[in-house]
Chains A and B, each alone.
Chain A
C-alpha cells in the first residue's frame, strides 16, 4: 500500500516547513521508521520518519522548498504500485507553493482569511445536507489553508459540527467569522457558545503583518542582497514584534558587585567533580530565588487579569546558528546549583544542535539573556510574551569604585530588567533587582 510522506506539524505554532534535505533518493528502499528527510520548522530542524515501507517512488517537493503543513512531499510505495492517483491529487493541490519561486509573496498571504461566508452556508440546517452542500464564497488567495477558522480555503466550505450549525443559525451568527477549535479548525458547539457570549472581533491574533527589517546601511563595500528569512527568523520576528508592540516595556538597570559570588564559584569548582558551575548558573539560581520572593515578576498579563505562575520556569536565551532559542529550565527555584549547572548545560548544548523537543523551549515564566561573553557592558532585551520581564546581563569587569572615600577596584556587573508595565511597576521591578543584588553580593545567604 502506498504511504504518503507529508510535511508534518511538529510544533503547535508551525504553519509551514522547509525541506532541507532528502536523506534518500528516488528508488531507494525504505523501512517503516527510517529517516527519509530533514525539515526546518520555525523552531528546530527535525527528521521525517517513513510511516510505511517500500521504495521512495517519488520526490514531490524538492530540497530548499517551503510548503504548508500537510502538503504531500513524497510517496513511498511498492516498486510496481500505481501511484498516479496520489500524484494527480498532489498536483491538484494549490497549496503547494515553493517559497523560492514565490515572487515577493507578502506574509499576509498566509494569514487566516477572514472572508465572510454568505448566509446560505452558515445557515444550512437541513438534516442530511451536512458539509458537502455548503457552497460558499470563493477564496481567491488560497495559498495556505487557514487553520484558525472553520473556513476551508480551496472550497470555501465551512467545517462545523451539526450542533454548531444549528446553534449558529438560530443565533444568527455567520460560521465563517468564528474561530474553530476542533480538529483542523472545525467549528464546534463551544466555539458558537463563546461567540454568543462575547461578540468580539473574529479570530484570535491578527495577521502578523510585514515585519520591518530595516535596510542595511548603504556602504559601498557591501552589496544589496535580499535573503529569504529562515523559519526560525520568521518566528523571532513575529514573536518579538508582537511583544514590543502591545507590551509596554520599561527598563531598570542596577550594578552588582560580583566579587563574593565569583570567589564562591571558584571555591565550589575546586571541590566539584565532573561539572563546573558557571557565573550564569549562579545568576539563574539567584534570579529564580528572587522570583519566589517577588511573585509579581513571575506573572503574565492575561486579558484584563494578571496570571501569577505557581512555578518558576526560567527561559535561557541561547544564541544558535542563525537565530536564538530559549530552552526552559523547569522549577529552577527548587533545584540546587549542581542540578541547574548540569541541566542548563544539557539544554544549551542541545539547543545549539537544534535537538530540543518543543516542550523544552515553551512555557517559560521569566527569561535571562546574558551577553557578557560578547563583551557587552549592558543592554536591554525584548520581553518574550507572555512573560512579564526579562533580565539582560552584561559582562563582569574590574572597575574603580569609591568606597568610604577611597577608590578601590571591584568586579562589577550590570543587569537590566525589561518589564511589562501592565504587570510590573517600577517599584516592584526595583524591589526585585534589589533582592537579586543583595543575594549576589552575599551569596552565602543562598545556603540558608
Chain B
C-alpha cells in the first residue's frame, strides 16, 4: 500500500531540505527522501562536503596567513607557530556534523518525514524509494507534488580521473590531513581558488591552472587580475590561459603537462586537485518516464521552478546555473509556496549574488559592465578602491575595490562587483537595493556606519554619481 503526501522532496541538500521545511510550515504533508551517498546525507553537499566545511578551513587559513605574514606588524609576534591541518579538518568536520544534525531536528520540529533511500519518479509521478542497503524494501510514496533536488557531483575529464589519493576532488580535499609539498589546482572557479587559498596558507607550494584568461573567469576581469596579484604575492604560481594536457601519474613526483600561448610546460607535483566544475544528478531518477524535460544536463524549469511535467518541480543545482546553495534554498521556498499557493514570487535569476570566500573575498550581483551595455543601458561605472579605506586598513586588508555599474538615466543599480576584506557580507546591501529598485541616490543618501567596510559601498555610489569624498 502506498502512502499519501502533498509534497515529496527528493534530496535533502540546501534546496531540498529548505523546500521540505517550508512546505510543511504551509500545512502540506511532506516527506524528504535522502540517500546517504558520496556527498549526501541530510544537508547535502553544502553542509557535508561543500560550503560549510570549506568555509571552516578557510577561517583556519585566514588565521594562519595573518599570523604568518602580519602577526609581527599587528604586535602579535608569533613564536614557534605550528600548522596542524588535521586539527583544522577536525574542527571543520565537527561544525559540519553539528549543522547536519540540526536538520534532523528542524525536520522533526516542522513535521517533515525523513525517508532514507534513493528516490525516483514513476510514470504516474509518484515516488519510489529504493533501499540503499541490500535486503531493504522499496517504498512507494503517493505524491501529489514532487520537488526534485538531487544536486550535482564533481566532474573531471579523461586522463584526470580521481583516484582519491594523488588526484583528488573537493570531497577528498576537505579531509586532507597529510599535506603534500606541492599541489596543482586545476580550475580557478570559486572552488579552485578557495582550496588554493587554504593549502597555500598551510604551507603547500600551490600552482593554479586555469584554461580561461583570468582567475574566477565568470567575474569582472578586474577581479580576477586583483586576485591573481594577491595570490602571487603569497607565493602561489598562477597559469591562466593554460590547458592541462597530460598527467604522468606513475612517476614520482607526478608530472603535469600544461599548454598555453607561451608553449608547453611540465610541472612537477605531488598532488592534483581537480576543480573543473560539477554536473547535475539526473541519472536514475525516472525523469523521462515522468515527462520531465532535461536540456544540457539540467532539468528545465520556469521562474516558479515548475518542470515540463505537471506536479513536478525542480530546484537547486539539478535545475540549472548558477550552482549555488543560496539559489537552491531560495528556489526551494518558491516551489513550496507555489505548491501551497501561498503568494509565491517568481525567482529573480538576475539578482542571485555570487560569492567566493578566498582571501581577499569576491562577491558580485547583477550585470557586468559589458552585459549592461549589451542589454541596451547607457551605463555609468564607479569604482572605489579599498587601498585608502579606513576600515580596510585597520583590518590589514587594503587590497581590492567595489565597483558599481549603474544606468545613467535613472541611476538604477544594474550590477555590483567587489573584491576585498569581508565583501561576502557587503553584497547583501547591493542585493536588497536591487530588489527594492533603489538607485544610486538612495544608497548614497543613507548614513553608513563609520568605520565599516559597508561605507565603501556608499563611497562607490558617490564615485558613480561623480561626487566622491575619499578619493
A binding-site residues for B, Cβ under 8 Å: 9, 11-12, 127-128, 130, 161-164, 166-167, 170, 183, 188-189, 311, 330-331, 357-359, 362
Contacts and interface: CB of A to CB of B under 8 A. Distances in A.
B439 A9 contact: no
B311 interface: yes
Q: What DSSP secondary structure best describes chain B's contact surface?
A: loop
Give the 4 A-B residue pairs with the shortest CB-CB distance, closest first: A161-B437, A127-B441, A128-B445, A358-B341
Contacts of A130: 442
A357 B341 contact: yes
Given A11-B341, A166-B411, A359-B339, A128 B310 contact: no
Interface in B332-368: 339-341, 343, 345
B341 A359 contact: yes
Contact of B343 (A12, A128, A330): A12
Contact of B341 (A12, A127, A167): A12
24 contacts: A9-B343, A12-B343, A127-B444, A127-B445, A128-B441, A128-B445, A130-B442, A161-B436, A161-B437, A162-B436, A162-B437, A162-B442, A163-B411, A163-B412, A163-B438, A164-B437, A166-B439, A167-B410, A188-B437, A330-B311, A357-B28, A358-B341, A359-B341, A362-B341
Nearest to A128: B445
Contacts of A362: 341
Given A127-B442, A161-B437, A359-B339, 17 more contacts: A127-B441, A127-B445, A128-B442, A128-B445, A161-B436, A162-B438, A162-B439, A163-B410, A163-B412, A166-B410, A167-B410, A183-B345, A189-B437, A330-B310, A357-B340, A358-B341, A359-B340
A126 to B, nearest CB: 8
Contacts of B445: 127-128
A166 B6 CA distance: 45
A444 to B, nearest CB: 25
A162 B345 CA distance: 20
Contact of B441 (A9, A162, A170): A162
Interface of B: 6, 28, 310-311, 339-341, 343, 345, 409-412, 436-439, 441-442, 444-445
Nearest to B441: A127
Contacts, number: 51
A330 B340 CA distance: 16
B434 to A, nearest CB: 10
A189 B412 contact: yes
Nearest to B311: A330
Nearest to A163: B437
Contact of B310 (A164, A311, A357): A311
Contacts of A331: 310
B439 A163 contact: yes
A164 B411 CA distance: 11
A162 B435 CA distance: 11
A276 B339 CA distance: 30
A173 to B, nearest CB: 14
B30 to A, nearest CB: 13
